[in-house]
Structure 1
Amino acid sequence: MVVGHNDLLCVGSFAGSDLVLLSSVLIVVDAWLWSKEECHNSKVRLSFNRTTAAESFFLSPKHFLQRSLWCFVFGFWTLMFFEIVLMLLFAFWFVVAAFALQSDCGSLLSGFGFDIRLSLGCGAQWINMTTRPQFVLFGSSIVQFNHYGEGWGATLAHLYARKADIVLRGYASWNSRRALQVVDNLFPKNSISEPPALVIVYFGGNDSLLPHPSGLGPHVPIEEYIENMRNIANHLKTHSEKTRLIFLSTPPVNEGQIMGNIDEFGRAKRSNATRRIYSEACLKICKELNIKAIDLWSAIQKREDWKDVCFIDGVHFSAEGSKIVSKEILRVIKEEWETSLYWKTMPVEFGEDSPYDPVHPDGTSTVNVSNVPFPEDEDWEWE
């Protein structure tokens, strides 16, 4: 059963319209009957056959107005009563749905055959509550473009199909300063929606850019970067005890592959010497705050040919580079949260056996393919 605030508002508006119409009819009919009664009491002898309804209607304008006013007041308060009842009903459903969805044991009404899902409009944002856990990927262009060319985000979405929703929150060219400005909007502490099961965070590549003489651009000094990342981490840690965190450190780049990487003074805008400092700073913060971190700086360079195969443009990952990132993320998930977040052990949505599954070669049963990886011969562990 789906419960939405728009549904109840529609019911309320229809009921309100009906009550207004009913009150209007009541005013006209009652005023006409009152005027008829006044005519009789005044002993006005008019044959109904010789007098139109309109003539009888307007025989006593004074009483007509008095009666109309009384009926209007009565109809108004009747309308208000029913509107209040509808509002109380909406509040009741709101509390029941929110409580049932946030219960650790799942929906409190599921045992009776109900599955309550609530969709609420909050300003310009929509909060969709579902029972499937969410993995939020929050970062700069390394995150925004991670579905391109067999990217690491696409791999996670593929492996966690029917198990978790991979939510992309990537913003190309962003630095930690801009991320800190919106982290409360993306992960509000007082939200009634289910918190994400996992958040993967990456910032640092743009922070480490060479500062521009004008002061413009994405560069953030290392001291401010450290403080920004610490504040982002603390916000996410206090957002929910259920949310697990993984931070990705700044990876290396192929300086020679980046177009326009040298400025007018012959300096590299993106240099590995600087990126290493930001990578180490991120790892240090995570160690202090007891947050799981992946050292992409070292992981990428484990391949001897990393400069030739890991990048599309010297900065963003190719399929081979993304495979390294995917492997490291899955390794951490398996080591730390295998029973709850690892793709092989998570429950499959609607994974029950069905007579509509593909027929088994024996012709007497069916084959449940809901949890079969694709392609079957692919070693997703990449050991």
Structure 2
Amino acid sequence: MAANVQDAIMLLGDSLTQGGYDLNGFVAKLAHVYNRKMDVINRGFSGYNTDWILPVFEQCFATQHEQQHVPKIRLLVIWFGANDAAPPPKPQHVPLDRFRANLRKLIWMVRAPESPHYSPETRIILMTPPPVNTAQRERAQLAKSPPKELDREFETTRRYAEAVKEVGKAESVPVVDLWENLYEAAGREEEKLEDFLTDGLHLNEKGYAIVFEGLEKAIKDAYPEYHYDNLQSVFIYFDLIAENPDKYMELTKKRSAFAHS
């Protein structure tokens, strides 16, 4: 499939997405494999939950009228739950039913013809929150100045991961089950999750490697036309330019004229 110079992948999430360029993270790897095929747009907002992201998404995802002037979002990856699962009365807490409704609202905004942000070309993938290591998280919280109390629960986060899968099934949206993938990689032992987490909540390089592997597989299985192996590079390679520079320049001008017509 030929890529368009304006095609893009958008990643919508919290700090797990925002930090995706860190430590050889999954966003950095995506940008590498999609280089000259699709741009990767990181819209991760540290600390955000699904309540707070809704008005932000309305601003960072173009309306139908605006879409002709900005990159076309071919893939939208939605990754929430890690903050929504904070136990009440933490301000980040979002009850499970509202969490499900918020995920459905994000999907509706892209899929529904009556939505101002309707984008029939966009394909959606959901990702579950990863499991937490409560012992590691508690140590990290106590080490802060001033010390803070434990703010996540292993079983609660699992329920939010299950909720993501429920929404995916109901809306026919593929889901990357990172909770299961990481827990399995840790031998299904919470304490061994420390190998994949920096502070019991956020991912290290090994953790992000599992995220990238799961997302890459989901794209390949659900939307193979947008897998990087099936996309042609935007613009011709330099070795072909050298063979006939005049022809290359003419083709490039024609493509530019077509793109802006």
Q: What TM-score, normalized by structure 2, do the two folds share?
A: 0.79
Return the offset for 1:268: 4.0
2: CA distance between counterparts of 1:234 and 1:165? 24
What SS class does the counterpart of residue 120 from structure 2 fall into? Answer: coil
Match of 1:164 among 33, 38, 42: 38
Query: Counterpart in 2 of 1:331?
Result: 217
The structure with higher relative contact order (CA 8 Å, sep 6+) is 2
Match of 2:194 among 308, 333, 343: 308
Query: Is the contact between residue 110 and residue 120 of structure 2 (CA under 8 Å) also seen in structure 1?
Result: no
Map 1:223-372 → 2, pairs under 5 A: 223-238=97-112, 239-258=118-137, 259-260=140-141, 268-304=150-186, 306-338=192-224, 340-352=225-237, 353-354=239-240, 356=242
Return the offset for 1:312: 1.6
Query: Is the contact between residue 9 and residue 41 of structure 2 (CA under 8 Å) also seen in structure 1?
Result: yes
Query: Is the contact between residue 261 and residue 269 of structure 1 (CA under 8 Å) also seen in structure 2?
Result: no
Unaligned runs of at least 5 residues, structure 1? 1-104, 107-129, 358-383
Q: Which structure shows the bigger proportion of residues in helix conformation?
A: 2
- 1:321 maps to a residue whose letter is G
1: CA distance between counterparts of 2:206 and 2:215? 15
What SS class does the counterpart of residue 65 from structure 2 fall into? Answer: coil
Deviation by residue 1:193-249 (Cα, 9 ceiling, x = unmatched): 25300000111111110112xxx6211111211111111111122321110100111
What SS class does the counterpart of residue 229 from structure 2 fall into? Answer: coil
Match of 2:83 among 195, 201, 206: 206
Return the offset for 1:351: 3.1
Match of 2:51 among 162, 171, 177: 177
1: CA distance between counterparts of 2:35 and 2:99? 35
1: CA distance between counterparts of 2:55 and 2:47? 15
- 1:288 maps to a residue whose letter is A
2: CA distance between counterparts of 1:180 and 1:250? 18
- 1:315 maps to a residue whose letter is L
2: CA distance between counterparts of 1:174 and 1:290? 25
Query: Is the contact between residue 168 and residue 174 of structure 2 (CA under 8 Å) also seen in structure 1?
Result: yes
Query: Is the contact between residue 141 and residue 149 of structure 2 (CA under 8 Å) also seen in structure 1?
Result: no
- 2:168 maps to a residue whose letter is C
**Greater Cα radius of gyration, structure 1 or 2:** 1
Query: Counterpart in 2 of 1:33?
Result: none
Deviation by residue 1:46-98 (Cα, 9 ceiling, x = unmatched): xxxxxxxxxxxxxxxxxxxxxxxxxxxxxxxxxxxxxxxxxxxxxxxxxxxxx
1: CA distance between counterparts of 2:159 and 2:6? 38
Give structure 1 regions of 4+ aligned residues with deviation exceeding 3 angstroms. Answer: none
- 1:228 maps to a residue whose letter is N
What is the alpha-carbon root mean square deviation over aligned residues?
A: 2.3
- 2:159 maps to a residue whose letter is I
Query: Counterpart in 2 of 1:135?
Result: 9
Query: Is the contact between residue 250 and residue 279 of structure 1 (CA under 8 Å) also seen in structure 2?
Result: yes
- 1:274 maps to a residue whose letter is T
Q: What TM-score, normalized by structure 1, do the two folds share?
A: 0.55
- 1:260 maps to a residue whose letter is Q
1:304–1:140 Cα change, 3 Å: closer
- 2:218 maps to a residue whose letter is V
- 2:127 maps to a residue whose letter is L
- 2:229 maps to a residue whose letter is K
Return the offset for 1:356: 4.2
Map 1:34-45 → 2, pairs under 5 A: none
Query: Counterpart in 2 of 1:146?
Result: 20
Return the offset for 1:280: 0.5
What SS class does the counterpart of residue 173 from structure 1 fall into? Answer: coil
1: CA distance between counterparts of 2:170 and 2:79? 17
2: CA distance between counterparts of 1:221 and 1:261? 26
2: CA distance between counterparts of 1:261 and 1:297? 25
1:260–1:336 Cα change, 3 Å: same
* Percent identity for Structure 1 against Structure 2: 26
1:172–1:267 Cα change, 3 Å: closer
Number of residues of Structure 1 aligned to a counterpart in Structure 2 = 223
1: CA distance between counterparts of 2:129 and 2:121? 26
2: CA distance between counterparts of 1:191 and 1:313? 43
Query: Is the contact between residue 197 and residue 242 of structure 1 (CA under 8 Å) also seen in structure 2?
Result: yes
1: CA distance between counterparts of 2:83 and 2:194? 22
